Amino acid sequence: MEKRAIYGGLALPLLLLTPQLLVTLVFFYWPASQAVWQSFLLQDAFGLSTRFIGLENYRELLSSPGYYRTIGTTALFSTLVTVLSLSIALVLAVQADKSIRGAGIYRTLLIWPYAVAPAVAGVLWLFMFQPSLGVLARGLRSLGVDWNPLLNGDHALALVVMAATWKQISYNFLFFLAGLQSIPRAVIEAAAIDGASPTRRFWTITLPLLSPTAFFLLVVNIVYAFFDTFGIIDAMTSGGPSKATETLVYKVFFDGRLGGDLGGSAAQSVILMVIVIALTAVQFRYIERKVAY
Amino acid sequence: MVERRSMLARLVPHVILCLGVAILAFPVYLCFVGSSHPQDVISNGQMPLVPGHLLTESYWLALTRGVARTSSEPVGLMLLNSLTMALIIASGKIAISIISSFAVVYFKFPFRMAAFWMIFITLMLPVEVRIYPTYKVVADLGMLDTYAGLTVPLIASATATLFFRQFFLTIPDELVEASKLDGAGPMKFFWDTVLPLSRTNIAALFVILFIYGWNQYLWPLLITTRSDMQTVVIGIKKMIVTQDALTEWNIVMATAMLAMLPPVAVVVLMQRWFVRGLVETEK
Amino acid sequence: MASLSLDNVKKVYPGGVEAVKGVSLQVPDRAFVVLVGPSGCGKSTLLRMIAGLETITSGTVKIGDRIVNDVEPANRDIAMVFQNYALYPHMKVFDNMAYGLRNRGMGEPEVKRRVDEAARLLEIGQLLDRKPRQLSGGQRQRVAMGRAIVRQPAAFLFDEPLSNLDAKLRVQMRVEIKKLQRDIGTTSIYVTHDQVEAMTMADILVVMNAGSAEQIDTPREIYQRPRTTFVASFIGSPSMNFLPAKLTGDGKGVIVGGVPIALTGGAHAAASTITVGVRPEEIVVGADGATHTVAIDVIEHLGADTIVHGKLVADGAAALTVRLVGYWPLAPGEILPVALHARALHLFDPTTGQRL
């Protein structure tokens, strides 16, 4: 799509683009290319000498069991967060869509957690489930659960999943509600006249018409679980206990900073970059399809 | 819906929704309660489920002193840092994105598509995939522990640029043409027409970007070493110490409340713009 | 105020699409010229080239004595009224009208004088403090006109300004624009696809088709002596009937549906096949002097008129539409006797479509 009436000239548009392009060059393209370059280098512990080692960093990474464990953790974490936050949000959105007068109020009451910083969300959930003093941890104990996320990896993972899900429900709810409200009432009414029960209408009419929204949210949620949950994990578990809650992004951060393994960290960054590009490509195909509708 | 429904059937959605609201609100309620009880009551695991009497004291202490340890800064200062960072990021992103969109949409010049793609591709380079090289650039430029270091590297925005581009494409061509006939050049058209027409879009984007800026975590964590440059989101994490008995949970919870308040208030009070910004930037 | 002239103006888009294929046109000072044609005929492109909103591939555009091919739109001394009005949505009516004057550095007292004057002329004085979205379609139309008038330009350019209005308002505004133009006397070029607007408003009518001006004439001349079958069918409602025919051996008569009709004018090429055009309103109905009969298919009662769609009862059974004044109690299947008079016939070359 293009404007029919546009201006000529070269200096003015370039001047207008300069700030943005400068920032992207200095802080995006240069570091990204550095990450790629560093992934082929080996740096000694003091950073005094570097050596080109080709794909050695990747080979090492892909032969380390720890990396696969992190991939597994990330996959499990992302799946749980995505499935839980999408389904809870869908249930809430369907209910809110039914209540015509209340929808606006419920929306207000349900969207605010979006604004809470991931790290702060982590702190809130930590406070509830802190084994020795948390109110809910106490509850679990009294039910006979030996709750201890500081030592038990599964408990820790459950905790970060809960906090991450809690924060993401708002976003999904908002988009599901908008999607539901954009389904023409006439279609639902036609289905009712065709004799479809409310439940059947939901599965055969509402849900298929909502599928573009759901697919879009699926991608967004995966991206969220991969990248935006860093704050939650760092605040709650710092990847522990014994790396049970370490996601790919957290590992890049951890290996580069404390481990000092810049080459390995860079190789991980490059792999993450490939994942982001793939996800963006998927999302883009979706956008194109939406345009074609 | 289409059928007439019984009283009970009409009640069910409200019950489910209220349950949802309660679950979402519960952590914040507990946080509020926690900020009103003394440290030792919380540490003993004896905290009641109703607010205590130390409310003003906890918040006053948090704002002016922070936690008692020596390295800690008052939360008031952290909030100020967060506010500064969020405002610079939000307005900076809007400013540089609106002018680059204007250039890409309203001018025809040789590198137009190249520039557009260069901005677009940054979508695929989140800070998480280039952490240390970016840190090194900022360090080399001497921007560690500065507001510039905190904000400038985050200021490029493909999302905002695409958002404005989308909007500009909906402005009728006739408006540029009328403007040309009325003797206005490109920059005059920008100031007199494009900018005023973009007001609501700017507001919507501002809400989203303010929250984005306020909630930044990884970047400030890397860039700030001095405690007086800390933002509240970073600061709160550092208030929690591994030996639980030493954590001043009442102060931490008061800080958490203070850290949540500005972005949540923005979402609730500017809900119309928030929803619009969120939905539109995803197009 | 000024005359305006186009000399062999062409527009070729990158990619080779020829939107305007060389149009020449002389517009005397104070004239009202209407460019009419179907969508895609190049009429809007031509107007936009005069405005300077499209580059001119070749040929020259002159406003007054000045060639303006390379002059910026703002400096061509023209004002334009757009189809969607293109009012600045965030400015009050007053500021919308004043914007172009202020950009040219005019002093505020003069700006106010001119805007008030135009507002009085257009009867929109009470709207000056409103924003465009608070106005009705007709009011916006007036403001768009006002924005053009205050400039006191050499020429007004109108790009389908009435097509966003409902039918009733359109008729009213049509009359007002024409009257206003006559009072102010500014040379005007008006683009429309509506033949009624074209016929009623134009001093000079330009019928365009596929990038060319098919005919440039007064509306009356275009109606009475259309130069091509395209012009003949585009102007007039219902459209002109076209019937296959043959000239007689001496070239002084024409055989339509097997019936010879003596022509009044000079002789044509003998015995050749031609197309005969006849307007529905010029077909005479009645048994006296009937030359043909029509088998009725469909009847439309418009109130003041009755339109009969039928077929000529003859070899080939060509479709024929007849317009009758008043209410005629006819029924499908009836046979209607009609007369085709020589003076009502338009003769065209069947291959080139040119008038003979």
Residue A7 lies in a domain: no
In whole angstroms, give the CA distance from residue C269 to residue C287. Answer: 32
Q: Point out the residue among C75, C86, C99 whose CB comes nearest to the CB of B172.
A: C86
pLDDT of the residue at A292: 35
What are the residues whose beta carbons fall under 8 Å from the beta carbon of C47, sequence distance 6 or more?
Answer: C35, C157, C159, C189, C191
Mean local confidence (pLDDT), B19-43: 88
As given in the structure block, the two tokens for residue C92 are: 């009050």
From the number of C-beta atoms within 10 Å of its C-beta (0-12, 13-18, 19+), residue B28 rates as buried
Residue among C161, C167, C203, C266 at smallest CA distance from C33: C203
Distance CA B87, CA B91 (A): 6
DSSP state of B154: G
Q: How confident is the model at residue C186 (pLDDT cuts 50, 70, 90)?
A: very high
For C301-348, write each residue's pLDDT tens digit.
998 999 999 998 876 678 999 999 999 998 898 999 999 988 899 999
Report residue B55 as tokens: 């409310």
Which amino acid appears at position C38 of this protein?
A: P
What is the C-alpha to C-alpha distance for residues C233 and C222, in angstroms, rounded to an integer? 11
Q: Which tokens hold the place of B60?
A: 């006053």
Residue C53 to residue B180, Cβ atoms within 8 A: yes
Alpha-carbon Rg of chain B, whole angstroms?
24
**How many separate domains does chain A show?**
1
Nearest to C73 among B172, B175, B181 (CB): B181
Beta bridge partners of C27: C4
Q: Are C133 and C164 in contact (CB under 8 A)?
A: no
Residue A36 lies in a domain: no
In chain B, what are the domain boundaries? 10-279
Q: Domain for residue A200, yes or no?
A: yes
Question: Which residues in chain B have Cβ-Cβ distances shorter than 8 Å to C51?
Answer: 177, 181
Mean pLDDT in residue range C250-276: 82
pLDDT given for residue A78 in this prediction: 93
Measured between alpha carbons, how far is residue A15 from residues A35, A195, B67, B104, B187 in Å? Answer: 29, 63, 48, 12, 12
Q: Would you tell me how many other CB atoms lie within 10 Å of the CB of residue B228?
A: 11
Task: Read off the pLDDT of residues C18-31 as tens digits, 9 standing for 90 and up.
Answer: 999 999 999 999 99
For residues C325 and C319, give the distance between their C-alpha atoms in angstroms, rounded to a whole number: 20
Mutate to test the interface with A, among B40, B50, B124 (most CBs of A within 10 A): B124
The two structure tokens encoding residue C28: 């005397």
Interface of A with B in 94-133 (CB under 8 A): 95-96, 98-99, 102, 106-128, 130, 132-133
A167 domain residue, yes or no: yes
Helix, strand, coil % in chain B, rounded to nearest 5: 75, 0, 25
User: Domain residues for A162?
Assistant: 66-290
Please give the pLDDT value at position A47. Answer: 63
Identify whether A149 is preceded by a cis peptide bond (ω within 30 of 0).
no
C-beta pairs of A280-284 under 8 Å, 24+ apart in sequence:
A280/B123, A280/B124, A282/A219, A283/A216, A283/A219, A283/A220
Reported as type and span, the H/E element at residue C256 is strand C253-256
The DSSP secondary-structure symbol of B107 reads: B
**pLDDT mean across residues, chain B:** 86
Distance from the Cα of C142 to chain B's closest Cα (Å) equals 15
Mutate to test the interface with C, among B167, B182, B191 (most CBs of C within 10 A): B182
Put residue C86 in one of left, alpha, beta given phi > 0 → left and psi -120 to 50 → alpha. left
For residue A291, pLDDT beyond 50: no
For residue A276, tell me if it sits in a domain. yes
Q: Which residue has the higher pLDDT, B66 or C72?
A: C72
Contact by Cβ (8 Å): C276, C245: yes
Q: How many CB pairs under 8 A join A and B?
A: 300
pLDDT of res. A289: 53
Question: Tokens 């289905």 correspond to what residue?
Answer: A191
Whether residues B236 and A120 touch (CB distance < 8 A) is answered with yes
Residue with tokens 């001095």: B226
B221-243 confidence digits (pLDDT tens): 888 888 888 899 988 888 887 65
Flag if A20 and B119 touch (Cβ within 8 Å). yes
What backbone phi and psi angles, to 5 degrees, belong to C336?
-110, 125
Q: Is the dihedral of CA A43, A44, A49, A55 positive or negative?
A: negative
Q: Chain A window 172-231: which residues touch B at a Cβ cutoff of 8 Å?
A: 174-175, 178, 188-189, 192, 198, 216, 220, 227, 230-231
Give the pLDDT confidence of C80-135 residue by residue, as tens digits: 999 888 899 989 999 999 998 998 889 999 999 999 999 998 999 999 999 999 99
**Which chains form contacts with chain C, at 3 or more CB pairs under 8 Å?**
B
**Judging by DSSP bridges, how do beta strands C155-159 and C78-81 pair with one another?**
parallel
Pairwise CB contact (< 8 Å): B133 & A35: yes
Banded pLDDT at A98 (limits 50, 70, 90): confident
Residue B277 has pLDDT above 80, yes or no: yes
Does A23 sit within 8 Å of B156, measured CB to CB?
A: yes
Q: Prior bond to A208 cis, omega within 30?
A: no
Cβ of A126 within 8 Å of Cβ of B240? The answer is yes
Report whether C19 contacts C126 (CB < 8 A): no
**Phi then psi dihedrals of residue C339, to 5 deg:** -120, 130
Mean pLDDT of chain C: 91
Give the confidence band of A170 by pLDDT, cuts at 50, 70, 90.
very high
C129-182 residue pLDDT tens: 999 999 998 899 999 999 999 999 999 999 999 988 888 889 999 999 999 999
Q: Give the pLDDT confidence score for residue A80 in this predicted structure.
A: 95
Residue A183 has pLDDT above 80, yes or no: yes
- Domain covering B10-279 in this structure, CATH number: 1.10.3720.10
Tokens of C103: 């950009």
Contact B181 C100 (CB under 8 A): yes
Confidence (pLDDT) at A293: 37
Name the band, by pLDDT with cuts 50, 70 and 90, for residue A258.
Answer: low
Interface of C with B (CB under 8 A): 51-53, 72-75, 78-80, 82-90, 99-100, 103-104, 147
Identify which of C129, C125, C123 has the alpha carbon closest to the alpha carbon of residue C95: C129
Judge: C100–B188 Cβ closer than 8 Å, yes or no. no
- pLDDT value at position C323? 94
The two most distant CA atoms of chain C are separated, in Å, by 77
Which residues of chain B does C75 touch, with a Cβ-Cβ cutoff of 8 Å? 183
Q: How far apart are CA C126 and CA C133, in angstroms?
A: 15
Rounded Cα distance, C299 and C272, in Å: 34
Q: Which among B195, B196, B171, B193 has a CA at the least distance from the CA of B182?
A: B193
| pLDDT value of residue B71 | 62
Tell me the DSSP string of chain A: ---SS-B--SHHHHHHHHHHHHHHIIIIIHHHHHHHHHTTEEE-TTS--EEE-TTHHHHHHHT-HHHHHHHHHHHHHHHHHHHHHHHHHHHHHHHHHH-TTTHHHHHHHHHGGGGS-HHHHHHHHHHHH-TTT-HHHHHHHHTT----TTT-HHHHHHHHHHHHHHHHHHHHHHHHHHHHHTS-HHHHHHHHHTT--HHHHIIIIIHHHHHHHHHHHHHHHHHIIIIITHHHHHHHTTT-STTTT--HHHHHHHHHHTS--HHHHHHHHHHHHHHHHHHHHHHHHHHHHHHH-
Please list, in sequence order, all residues whose beta carbon lies within 8 angstroms of the beta carbon of residue A144, skipping any fewer than 6 positions away: none
Q: Choose the closest CB to A116 out of B13, B221, B264.
A: B264
Number of helices followed by number of strands (H, E) in chain B: 16, 0
Let me know if residue A44 belongs to a domain.
no
CATH number at residue A192: 1.10.3720.10
Contact B259, B233 (CB under 8 A): yes
As a whole number, mean pLDDT of residues C214-241 equals 94
Residue of A nearest to B272 (CA): A108
**Half-sphere exposure (Cβ direction) of C10: Cα atoms closer than 13 Å:** 12
**What's the CA gap between B265 and B211, in Å, rounded?**
10
Better-scored residue on pLDDT, B199 or C270: B199
